[in-house]
């Protein structure tokens, strides 16, 4: 099969959606398929263009790439809104060319709803421009790319139900697909002993969507009530001084901030961590949550759609209400104080994470591609033994 994958980011293995797309490409190739990628690297003069300009330009670059490869590809699998200029004219091409799939890395409409809820609660100030693009036209681009594709892939049931119930997608052509874990996280040793001093870790960007309005007061309470506990914030994307400025000065000496890390280094960075805290107000999947569980760390997560799909509450981790910092703090303190419970949840979470392999998710997605091609009466090209 010949597959074009597009992603509206620069390609970086250690980041969320781009890393996921690279993993998909590698998995498809390992199964004998030919894969090409189109990302921000394809934008002419990208280096002289601000990020906002790249975001506006990319759908047209991706559309041009798709049209150039239209007769080559069996499948064009594009992240949401990448091909809205082409799919806006999709009816002119019905039944012709490759199968087109829109791949969601977290439904933008759900993210917008979560951000507006935070703003209404007084925990976030949205810019005046937000309703014009990210909270306005961008959502229309996403809706076009979902409605006009041959199929749509989502990461959780809530996003799928939103798309069917509120955006008008046909349920039969929507699918919920897990992401996987890179091989660095499969087969790690399960947690066996308790490590002191106890450490609370938060993995992910220091941003409103990741729930910093709730994780900061939760961590503050935990550190204030347990003087020997430390906190580590990994992958903040924000300088340590700025992150620490959100915490009381008397606690900053017990907080370590790592603004960037390589994905392969995460198991070592999490070695000995006691509890992973995840406060996201909107999360399509929760890859860093799953990676933390695979590293043998007991997880406390807000009950957003993605974490709710990954964590079995009370069995493989603890789920608490979204936007409730006191519940996050209480659950974290409970696990810090109960070594047996923490170890039981950590071991169960570690075991549950082992099933999330890229080989399995790639095979599941490829099976859908093949069904769509067969329904189109265009059989997929034979697999080949080399990568493309």
Centre a 10 Å sphere on the Cβ of residue 364 and count the other Cβ atoms it contains: 14
Among residues 56, 98, 50, the alpha carbon closest in space to that of 81 is found at 56
Q: Which CATH number among 3.50.50.60, 4.10.1240.10, 3.40.190.10, 3.40.50.2000 corresponds to the domain 2-180+357-375? A: 3.40.50.2000
Confidence of residue 16 (pLDDT cuts 50, 70, 90): confident
Residue 15 above 80 pLDDT?
no
Query: How many other β-carbons are positioned within 10 Å of the β-carbon of residue 82?
Result: 29
Q: Pinpoint the residues of the chain covered by CATH 3.40.50.2000.
A: 2-180+357-375, 183-353
CB contact at 8 A, 281 and 209: yes
Distance CA 296, CA 307 (A): 16
The structural architecture, per CATH, of the domain 183-353 is 3-Layer(aba) Sandwich (3.40)
> For residue 387, what pLDDT is reported?
34
What is the pLDDT, as a whole number, of residue 90?
Answer: 56
Report the alpha-carbon distance of residue 197 to residue 303 in Å, rounded.
Answer: 28
119, with CB counted inside 10 A (0-12, 13-18, 19+), is: middle
pLDDT of residue 386: 35
Q: Which two tokens stand for residue 195?
A: 């490590």
Sign of the alpha-carbon dihedral angle for 314, 315, 317, 321: negative
Q: Which residues contact 251 (CB under 8 A, 6 or more apart)?
A: 220, 223, 224
Name the DSSP class of 8: S
Q: Are 324 and 123 in contact (CB under 8 A)?
A: no
**Residues making up the chain, counted from first to last:** 388
At residue 385, the pLDDT reads 35
pTM of the model: 0.88
């Amino acid at each position: 099969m010949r597959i074009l994958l597009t992603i509206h980011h620069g390609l970086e293995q250690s980041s969320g959606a781009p890393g996921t797309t690279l993993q998909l490409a590698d998995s498809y190739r390992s199964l004998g398929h030919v894969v090409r990628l189109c990302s921000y690297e394809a934008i002419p003069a990208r280096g002289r263009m601000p990020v906002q300009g790249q975001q506006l330009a990319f759908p047209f670059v991706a559309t041009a790439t798709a049209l150039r490869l239209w007769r080559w590809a069996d499948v064009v699998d594009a992240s949401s809104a990448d091909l809205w200029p082409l799919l806006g004219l999709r009816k002119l091409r019905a039944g012709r060319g490759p199968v087109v799939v829109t791949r969601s890395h977290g439904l933008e409409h759900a993210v917008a709803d979560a951000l507006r809820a935070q703003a209404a609660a007084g925990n976030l100030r949205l810019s005046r421009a937000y309703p014009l693009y990210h909270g306005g036209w961008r959502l229309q681009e996403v809706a076009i790319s979902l409605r006009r594709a041959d199929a749509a892939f989502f990461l959780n049931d809530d996003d799928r139900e939103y798309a069917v119930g509120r955006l008008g997608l046909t349920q039969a052509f929507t699918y919920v697909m897990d992401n996987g874990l890179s091989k660095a996280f499969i087969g790690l040793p399960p947690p066996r002993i308790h490590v002191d001093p106890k450490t609370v870790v938060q993995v992910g960007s220091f941003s409103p969507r990741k729930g910093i309005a709730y994780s900061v007061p939760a961590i503050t309470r935990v550190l204030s009530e347990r003087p020997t506990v430390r906190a580590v914030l990994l992958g903040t994307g924000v300088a340590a001084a700025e992150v620490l400025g959100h915490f009381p000065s008397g606690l900053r000496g017990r907080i370590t901030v790592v603004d960037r890390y390589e994905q392969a280094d995460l198991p070592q960075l999490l070695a000995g961590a006691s509890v992973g805290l995840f406060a996201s107000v909107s999360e399509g999947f929760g890859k860093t949550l799953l990676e933390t569980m695979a590293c043998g760390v007991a997880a406390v997560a807000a009950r957003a759609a993605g974490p709710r799909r990954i964590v079995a509450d009370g069995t493989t981790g603890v789920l608490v209400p979204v936007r409730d910092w006191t519940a996050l703090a209480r659950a974290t303190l409970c696990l810090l104080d109960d070594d047996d419970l923490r170890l039981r949840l950590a071991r169960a979470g570690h075991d549950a994470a082992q099933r999330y392999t890229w080989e399995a998710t790639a095979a599941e997605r490829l099976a859908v591609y093949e069904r769509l091609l067969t329904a189109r009466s265009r059989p997929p090209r034979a697999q080949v033994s080399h990568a493309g």
